[in-house]
Amino acid sequence: MSVDNGMSRRAMLVKLGVLLNAIVGVFLAVPIVRYLLSPVIRERQVGYESWLSLGALEQFPAGQTRLAIYRNPVVNAWDGETGDIACWVRNVDDQKFQVFAINCAHLGCPVRWFAQSNLFMCPCHGGAYYQDGSRASGPPERGLFEYRYKIEDGKLLIRAGEMPTPGQPVANKAGGKTTCA
Amino acid sequence: MRLIQRVGDWFDLRLQLGSPIRETVQHPVPRETASWFYVFGSAALTCFMLQIVTGILLALIYVPSAGEAWNSLQTLNHGISLGWFIRALHGWGSNFMVAIVLIHMVQVFLFGAYKFPRELTWIVGVFLLLVTLGMAFTGQVLRFDQDAYWGLGIGASIASRVPVIGPWAVNLMLGGPIIAGATLSRFFALHVFVIPGLLIAFVGVHLLMVLKLGINEWPMPGRIVRRDTYLQEYRELTHKQGVPFLPNAVWKDILFSGFILLSIAVCALYFGPFGPGGQPDPTIIQTAPRPDFFFLWLYALLSFLPPSAETPILLIGPAIGIIVLLALPFVAGEGEKSWKRRPIAVLTILLIAVALGTLTHLAEHTPWSPVMDAWSSQPIPSEFLQGRTALERRGALVFQGKQCHNCHSLDDRGGQRGPALDGVALHLTEDQLVRQVIQGGGNMPAYGKNLSPAETTALVAFLKTLHPASQAPARDASRAAALGASEVSPRP
C-alpha cells in the first residue's frame, strides 16, 4: 500500500465521517424544526378557537355595552391571569348582539367604552370607534374585531381562543364592517 | 513576591498566555487615539459585563412564568435584601448600555472608522446594535407588567401585518394563540440564552478585528483613505509615532468605565428599579401602555404615520435602515475621514438626533391620545362659564358629559387629540360648528347619533361663546346678504 493510497483512504474516511454527521444532523433537524414550529402546526385544522360561554343573557341589558371576561380555552396551568381575556358585549335590541375584542384594530391596546359619547377609545395612539365597532377616527384602518356569537339555553356564546390581530384572516372575516354610525 | 512569581511561572509554562497577552496590551496605537473620544467601546463592554453579572443575580430569584413573574419581581423589590438595588443596576445598566452603544456608533461614523479596512468591524457593530436593542426589548418583556403585556400585543399586531405569513408569525412569536406563559418563556430564552450568546460572539469578533486591524487613527482633514496605500500609512503611524496601548491609552478607558459604573450605581441608588407596573392582567383595561425610553420614538411614530402608509413603512422601514447601515462601508469605503470635511455625514447625524429627540419628547406627552378622564376630572375653567346664558351653560355640561374635553382643551386643560377650542368661534360659524359636531370629519368622530337636537343646540351655543372678548366671532357674510341687509346677525 503506497503512501498516496493511505492518504486518500484517510481523506475518504474523513469525508465519510462528515457525511455521517450531515445525515444525523438532518435527522435531528426535522424534529427540532417541528418542535420550534409547534405553535403554528399544532393541529391547525382544528385551530385554537372554540365556543365558550360569556354567561347568562341577563348580564347584558338591551341597548348597553358591557365588559365581559372569559377564560381562554387554550391555557396552561402556569398562565395565571394572562389566560383571562376581556371583551365588550353590546346588546343591540335583545335579538342582535355584537361582541368586540378588547384589542384595538391598530396595534392591540385595550379599548375603553364611553357610554356617554357612545365611543370606544384607545389609550395608545388615539384610535376611536363608534358603538357598532366601526372606525370613527385615528390610526386604525378598520373597525373593532368582532367575535362570532350564538345564544344557547339563555347564555351568550362566542367563538374565541386566539388574540385577534390585523393580519388575521379569521378576524377580518368576522369584523371590519364599514357601517356608518 | 517571589512565591507569586513562581506560581505565575508555573501557570504560564502550562497556559502559555503570558506573552500573547503582554503583546496585545502593549501593541502600539497611533498617538492621538489615546483620546477621550475613544473610550465608548470599552465602556459599552463594561456595561455588558455588569449586565451579565446582575442578570445572573436576578435569575437566582426571578420566575419566568406568566402566573408568577410579577410576584417574583415584587419579592425582588421588597422581600430580598437589596434585591431592588440589583434590579435597579440591571435596569439602569441597560439604559446606559444602549446610550453608550449609540454614542460609540455616532463617534465611529463621524471619525470615518468604518472605512477600509474596517468594513467588517462596522458590520459586526451594526449587528451588535441590533442585538443590544433586542436585549432591551426582551428585557422589557421580562419585567412582566401591564406595559410588557400590551407591548407584546403591539409586537404581535405588527408581526401580523407581514404579508402571507403574518398570522403564523404571531403564533410563533407568542408561542401560542394568546400572550401567556409560553410567550414569557420564549422571551426568557431569548433574553438569557440566545441573544447574549450572539452578543458575546459578536463582541469577540468585533474586538478581535480591532486588535488585528488596529484602532482607527485620529482623522485629519485631507488625509484620504485609499485601498492601496492605507495599510502602509497606518503602519507608519503606529510604529514610527505610535504609543503602547498600555499604559498610554488604556488609563482613559479604565477611568471612563469606572465613571460609567459609578453613574449607573448612583442612578440605581437614587431613582431605584423600573417597575414593575400594574399586574399583567389583561382584564384590567384602565391602563395606558407605553414602551421603555429607547422605544418611545417608535411609539410616537406609530401614531403619526398615515394609516395607509403604516404597514409598508413598519415592515420595509427597518429593513431599509439596516441595509443602509450595512452598505455604508461599501459605498463610502474610501476617501475623507474627518467630519470637518463631511458635512452630509454631520447633517445626517443632526437630523436623526433631532427627529428621534422630537419623537421621544412627543411620546412623553402623547398629545395624540385622548385624556381618558378629562371629562370627569378636569372641570371647565370658570372664565368660560361666567356671564353665560342658561342654554350656553347647558352646552358646557354637554361638552363635559359627552367627553368632548377628552380630546379638546380649554385653557390648556384637557386632551390635545383635537384642536384647542379656546377660540373656536373665531374660525367656525354656527352652521360650520353644527356640521362638525354632527358629521365629524378631519379625524373627529361624528356625534349625530349621540346627541339629541337639544343637546346639539346647547353645545353649539356654548362653542359660539369661545372667542376673545376683543374679537368678534366668525359669521357667514352671505347669510346677511341673503336675509336682507337689516338682519346682520345670524339666525338666533
Tens of pLDDT, residue by residue over A125-148, are: 888 899 999 988 888 888 999 999
Examine the pLDDT at B457 and tell me if it is beyond 50: yes
Task: Name residue B474's amino acid.
Answer: A
Mean pLDDT of chain B: 90
Break chain B into its structural domains and give their ranges.
Answer: 2-365, 374-483
pLDDT of residue A1: 47
Give B47 to chain A, closest Cα distance, Å.
32
DSSP string, A73-93: SS--GGGGGGGEEEEEEEESS
Which of B169 and B490 is assigned the larger pLDDT?
A: B169
B5/A contact by beta carbon, under 8 A: no
Q: Which residue has the cell 335590541?
A: A93
Tens of pLDDT, residue by residue over B421-445, are: 888 888 888 888 888 888 888 788 8
In this predicted complex, what is the ipTM? 0.87
pLDDT of residue B213: 92
Residues of A in contact with B417 (CB under 8 A): 126
Let me know: does B450 contact B402? Beta carbons within 8 Å. yes
A-proximal residues of B, 109-168, CB under 8 Å = 149-150, 153-154, 156-162, 166-168
- Closest to B418 in 3D by CA, of B429, B403, B396, B430: B403
The whole-number average pLDDT for the span A95-113 is: 92
Take residue B216 and report the three cell numbers written for it. Answer: 482607527
- Closest to B46 in 3D by CA, of B294, B258, B269, B268: B258
Examine the pLDDT at B485 and tell me if it is beyond 60: no
Read off the pLDDT band of B418 (50, 70, 90): confident
Top-level class of domain B374-483 = mainly alpha
Examine the pLDDT at A103 and tell me if it is beyond 90: yes
CB pairs under 8 A between A and B: 202
Least confident of A69-78, A171-180, B303-312, B338-347: A171-180
pLDDT of residue B290: 85
Distance from C-alpha of B190 to C-alpha of B194, rounded to nearest angstrom: 5
The whole-number average pLDDT for the span B385-412 is: 88
B370/A contact by beta carbon, under 8 A: yes
pLDDT of residue B289: 86
Residue A84 β-bridge partners: A71
pLDDT of residue A42: 64
pLDDT of residue A6: 59
B444/A contact by beta carbon, under 8 A: yes
Per the CB < 8 Å rule, is B158 touching A107?
A: yes
Let me know: does B233 contact B240? Beta carbons within 8 Å. no
Examine the pLDDT at B486 and tell me if it is beyond 60: no
Take residue A109 and report the three cell numbers written for it. Answer: 391596546
Take residue B327 and report the three cell numbers written for it. Answer: 452598505
Q: Nearest 5°: CA angle at B53, between B85 and B27?
A: 130
CA B188 to chain centre: 21
Distance from C-alpha of B116 to C-alpha of A166, rounded to nearest angstrom: 45
Per the CB < 8 Å rule, is B372 touching A112?
A: yes
Q: Nearest 5°: CA angle at B226, between B221 and B229?
A: 110
The whole-number average pLDDT for the span A114-131 is: 88
Distance from C-alpha of B461 to C-alpha of B396, rounded to nearest angstrom: 9
- Domain spanning B2-365, CATH architecture: Up-down Bundle (1.20)
Read off the pLDDT band of A178 (50, 70, 90): very low
Per the CB < 8 Å rule, is B177 touching A72?
A: yes
Nearest to A84 among B281, B290, B417 (CB): B281
Distance from C-alpha of A90 to C-alpha of A132, rounded to nearest angstrom: 8
Torsion of CA A60, A62, A65, A71, to 10 degrees: 20
Task: Name residue A141's amino acid.
Answer: E
Element (H, E) at B115: none
Neighbour-count burial of B71, counting CB atoms closer than 10 A to its CB (0-12 exposed, 13-18 middle, 19+ buried): middle
Nearest to A85 among B174, B182, B282 (CB): B282
pLDDT of residue A14: 94
Tens of pLDDT, residue by residue over B271-283, are: 999 989 999 999 9
Distance from C-alpha of B171 to C-alpha of A37, rounded to nearest angstrom: 9
- Give whole-number Cα distances, A64 to A43, A60, A115, B164, in Å: 38, 7, 8, 38
Examine the pLDDT at B492 and tell me if it is beyond 50: no
Please give the residue of chain B at the shortest CA–CA distance from A163. B178
> Residue A105: CB partners within 8 Å, gap ≥ 6?
A127, A135, A140, A141, A142, A143, A144, A145, A166, A175, A176
The whole-number average pLDDT for the span B55-65 is: 96
- Give whole-number Cα distances, B297 to B293, B308, B319, in Å: 8, 20, 17
Quick one: CA dihedral B46, B51, B56, B58, positive or negative?
A: positive
B403/A contact by beta carbon, under 8 A: yes
Which of A174 and A116 is assigned the larger pLDDT?
A: A116
Q: Mutating which of A111, A163, A178, A179 best tests the B interface, going by the most B Cβ atoms within 10 A?
A: A163
Examine the pLDDT at A181 and tell me if it is beyond 50: no
Check residue B405 and report its DSSP letter: G
pLDDT of residue B365: 82
Give B443 to chain A, closest Cα distance, Å.
5
Read off the pLDDT band of A177 (50, 70, 90): very low
Tens of pLDDT, residue by residue over B242-255, are: 888 888 888 999 99
Q: Mutating which of A165, A168, A173 best tests the B interface, going by the most B Cβ atoms within 10 A?
A: A165
Q: Nearest 5°: CA angle at B369, between B368 and B375?
A: 125
Distance from C-alpha of A140 to C-alpha of A136, rounded to nearest angstrom: 9
- Residues in chain A, how many? 181
DSSP string, A130-165: ETTS-EEESS-SS---EEEEEEETTEEEEEE-S---
Residues of A in contact with B377 (CB under 8 A): none
Nearest to B370 among A72, A121, A140 (CB): A121
Read off the pLDDT band of A44 (50, 70, 90): low
Neighbours of B437 (CB within 10 A): 22
- Give whole-number Cα distances, B296 to B56, B187, B196, B289, B452, in Å: 28, 20, 24, 11, 41
Read off the pLDDT band of A172 (50, 70, 90): very low
CA B470 to chain centre: 45
Tens of pLDDT, residue by residue over B140-193, are: 999 999 999 999 999 999 999 888 888 889 999 999 899 999 999 999 999 999
Examine the pLDDT at B225 and tell me if it is beyond 70: yes
Distance from C-alpha of B167 to C-alpha of B171, rounded to nearest angstrom: 7
First-last CA distance in chain A:
92
Tens of pLDDT, residue by residue over B197-206, are: 999 999 999 9
Examine the pLDDT at B98 and tell me if it is beyond 90: yes
Nearest to B372 among A123, A130, A169 (CB): A123
- Closest to A58 in 3D by CA, of A160, A177, A155: A155
Residues of B in contact with A165 (CB under 8 A): 156-157, 159-160, 166-167, 170
> Residue B382: CB partners within 8 Å, gap ≥ 6?
none
SS3 of A121, please? strand
The whole-number average pLDDT for the span B323-348 is: 94
Per the CB < 8 Å rule, is A79 touching B67?
A: yes
pLDDT of residue B117: 93
Q: Mutating which of A78, A82, A90, A179 best tests the B interface, going by the most B Cβ atoms within 10 A?
A: A82
The whole-number average pLDDT for the span B347-367 is: 92
Distance from C-alpha of B123 to C-alpha of B333, rounded to nearest angstrom: 12
**Does this model's pTM top 0.95?**
no
Per the CB < 8 Å rule, is B445 touching A181?
A: yes
Distance from C-alpha of A160 to C-alpha of A147, rounded to nearest angstrom: 7
